[in-house]
Structure 1
Amino acid sequence: MDKIKNSKILITGGAGFIGSNLADALIEDNEIVIVDDLSMGKIENLPQSTHLHFFEHSITDEEFMNRLLLNWKFDYIFLLAAVASVADTIVRPIETHEVNQNANLSILEIIRVNQLPVKKILFASSAAVYGNMPELPKREESNVDPQSPYAIDKYATERFTINYGKLYGIPTVATRFFNVYGPKQNPNSPYSGVLSLISNAIKTDGMFSVFGDGEQTRDFVYINDVIQALNLLMLSDQTLFQVYNVATSKVTSLNQVINNFEAISGKKLKVKYVSDRLGDIKNSYADISKIRSVGYKPQISILEGLRKYWDFLVDENEGNLK
């Protein structure tokens, strides 16, 4: 896989799940700066390296971000920081809007005003922008119907990122992540992926609540494939001012995931079936032909990914999960 090399890289939200895995993949060949307020990320997620420079800060601190961007003159910028809890954005729409949209817009504006020579900026959007639109699979050209302040901010910032690029000659690209999973996912996060919640319930002998009949489907993509996609989109000249689904285009039901996890772990999950949640999407999966056209090839099947994820959890807990 082609990887970014010999570059200065900024990862906002870099102590979180996706950001810290990205840092792991790139740290050997680059100087990496991470800005994270640790509201959901964890310092222990970060690689130990003299190439890593960590700042515990909110990206809403415009004065700090201005100094940082002017001092470092980054080659590549990954805008991953977000308040990722949909529920939190519903309770605190104005405060979360500051992080999820305004702070990212401010970063773009600092780059524009100072004509900083960035090679590419990537904004991490979400499949949540599609909302309850019935069309399957989800294509980048599909209609969107963002349902929450989180999804609205993701969509608006995605458009800002792409159109700032077009209007002001700033190289930009955006991704719509589907259901990403893998090591360093935080089961205590209010927006934790369903797979980390299931694995946590198995290892703690806890109860897992299934909303509905468990036949709802998702497009689960393993973190290594996401890292592959991020590198490709940054390095390819074809991806300027474009939005890309990052997924596998494979459909997996929640019940299948539970069965696979039980087989891999050798443990029985305690499951409680409860009523559907209002507004929950029944089925979702991506058309990935657009990102395939620039060389993306998802490598990790759901079974292999779950096995890798479980092995990581076992190692992390020194074998006490078995």
Structure 2
Amino acid sequence: MNILITGGAGFIGSALARALNRLGDTVTVLDNLSPQIHGTNPDDSPLFKSLPESVRLIKGDVRRREDWLAALEGQEAVIHLAAETGTGQSMYQIDHYVETNVRGTSLMLDLLAEARDAGHGTVRRVVVASSRSIYGEGKYRGHAGYVYPGARKASDMRLGLYDCLCPETGERLELVPTDETSKTHPSSVYGITKLFQEQLVLTVCETLDIGAIALRFQNVYGPGQSLRNPYTGILSIFSTLLLQGKDVNIFEDGLESRDFVYIDDIVESIVLALDATNKAGVAYNVGSGKATSVLQVAQTLKRFYGATGALNITGNFRLGDIRHNYADLKKIRKELDFEPKVSFAEGAMHFCKWVEEQTISDAGYDQSVAEMRSRGLLN
């Protein structure tokens, strides 16, 4: 197929481009080569340089109509990955996140509708990258049934009370895997924009007779993840600090957990969604199906690198952060035959070996923390 990958020079996009190239697809990439990800000289970016020579690269912006027109011409499928990411940064770059993530998506859909109306639409498949962030806090069980907690109170967390409690009884809730029928109530601007992206694509594509699937990615990691971006990817952030001999300050009590899913499993899920032409207008969770604490991540990296920096449990917390979330994978297993193949232990080993081959420099993490604190988002 002729396939367009937006954000195709990024972490997920470049890995996907390589995979689709091996499968014989003709790949076009639309990417703005953001300095936050690629550095000031994107020609030297490992992600950029990893794109196969046969991939057509359009340096452009999803907010620009002319860039979309150039990229969409002759395409049969669109993998829409382009987005601003990072929950913390989204809370003070609100308009930028909305303009890129929401308007960038609505502009694509406008052009797909115009092409259909003019009788020359070629796109028949769209896969959009959604996010676990649309759920806000994950799914829990209380004595009376399932509970979907709202945002935790700053006053509680200042007292070291980080766990989600039942709003009616005050009991500590039992974490269970979050399935696709769970309540969507994002707790960050980033999460809100990802929910909008998903809803826009699934709703509009149905009216255009374009088969669309939304994939709700959990926390993606692996070789190729940007070591320059201080706003996303705790494995990259922690690795950069540890390999510079610095301490790692861990928020809350370190027991907050996420579902970490390896990049190869993410690529596999996208290929499966692309090929599942009998499925449309549907969303799937994509993860490992297991919860791993932030402290466990830091300990794993420190042990592998033999780093001397301390792991400090600070009790600090960010407004908009969730306590826990991990994916229920029953639906994607049954309908797309997806099965995550890489455990966290194996994936972290591959990631760390790759990191040790890279040039490590200051990624601006301290500055990002200072920005959040100055805006009252970090306590």
Q: TM-score, normalised by structure 2?
A: 0.77
Would you say 1:121 and 2:126 are equivalent positions? yes
Aligned to 1:256: 296
How many residue pairs match? The answer is 310
Q: CA deviation at 1:92?
A: 2.8
Q: Does the 8 A contact of 1:175 with 1:246 survive in 2?
A: yes
Task: Supply the distance in 2 between the matched residues of 1:181 and 1:14 (Cα, whole angstroms).
Answer: 16
1:258-291, CA deviations, whole angstroms, 9 ceiling, x for partnerless residues?
A: 2222332233442222224133211111101111
Aligned to 1:101: 102
Query: Structure 2 residue aligned with 1:13, among 7, 20, 26?
Result: 7
Task: Supply the distance in 1 between the matched residues of 2:297 and 2:89 (Cα, whole angstroms).
Answer: 27
Aligned to 2:196: 156
Aligned to 1:170: 210
SS in structure 1 opposite 2:91? helix
Q: CA deviation at 1:171?
A: 1.1
Aligned to 2:113: 112
Gap regions ≥5 residues in structure 2: 141-175, 361-379
Aligned to 1:84: 85
Aligned to 1:287: 328
User: Which one-letter code corresponds to 2:96 in the other structure?
Assistant: E
Task: Supply the distance in 1 between the matched residues of 2:276 and 2:251 (Cα, whole angstroms).
Answer: 41
Would you say 1:220 and 2:260 are equivalent positions? yes
Gap regions ≥5 residues in structure 1: 1-6
Aligned to 2:225: 185
Would you say 1:52 and 2:46 are equivalent positions? no
User: Which one-letter code corresponds to 1:36 in the other structure?
Assistant: D
Aligned to 1:306: 348
Aligned to 2:20: 26
Query: Structure 2 residue aligned with 1:194, among 234, 240, 259?
Result: 234
Q: CA deviation at 1:27?
A: 2.2
Task: Supply the distance in 2 between the matched residues of 1:138 and 1:269 (Cα, whole angstroms).
Answer: 35
User: Which one-letter code corresponds to 1:84 in the other structure?
Assistant: T
1:203-244, CA deviations, whole angstroms, 9 ceiling, x for partnerless residues?
A: 221221100111111110000010111101110134311101
Query: Larger C-alpha radius of gyration, 1 or 2?
Result: 2
Q: Does the 8 A contact of 1:13 with 1:41 survive in 2?
A: no
Q: CA deviation at 1:48?
A: 4.8
Aligned to 1:297: 339
CA distance 1:216–1:288, change in 2 (3 Å) = same
Q: Does the 8 A contact of 1:124 with 1:176 survive in 2?
A: yes
Task: Give the share of equivalent positions with the same residue, in percent.
Answer: 30
Would you say 1:237 and 2:232 are equivalent positions? no
Aligned to 2:364: none
Please report the RMSD computed on the Cα atoms of aligned residues, expressed in angstroms.
1.8
SS in structure 2 opposite 1:32? strand
Task: Supply the distance in 2 between the matched residues of 1:49 and 1:279 (Cα, whole angstroms).
Answer: 38
CA distance 1:208–1:239, change in 2 (3 Å) = farther
Q: CA deviation at 1:123?
A: 0.8
Q: CA deviation at 1:147?
A: 1.8
Would you say 1:246 and 2:249 are equivalent positions? no
Task: Supply the distance in 1 between the matched residues of 2:354 and 2:228 (Cα, whole angstroms).
Answer: 17
Which deviates more from structure 2 when the two are superposed, residues 275-284 or residues 225-234?
Answer: 275-284
SS in structure 2 opposite 1:315? coil
Which deviates more from structure 2 when the two are superposed, residues 236-245 or residues 265-274?
Answer: 265-274
User: Which one-letter code corresponds to 1:192 in the other structure?
Assistant: T
Aligned to 1:131: 136
CA distance 1:263–1:87, change in 2 (3 Å) = closer
CA distance 1:279–1:64, change in 2 (3 Å) = closer
SS in structure 1 opposite 2:356? helix
SS in structure 2 opposite 1:172? strand
Aligned to 2:33: 38
Task: Supply the distance in 1 between the matched residues of 2:304 and 2:278 (Cα, whole angstroms).
Answer: 40
Which deviates more from structure 2 when the two are superposed, residues 51-60 or residues 83-92?
Answer: 83-92
Q: CA deviation at 1:163?
A: 1.0
Q: TM-score, normalised by structure 1?
A: 0.90
Q: Does the 8 A contact of 2:4 with 2:71 survive in 1?
A: no
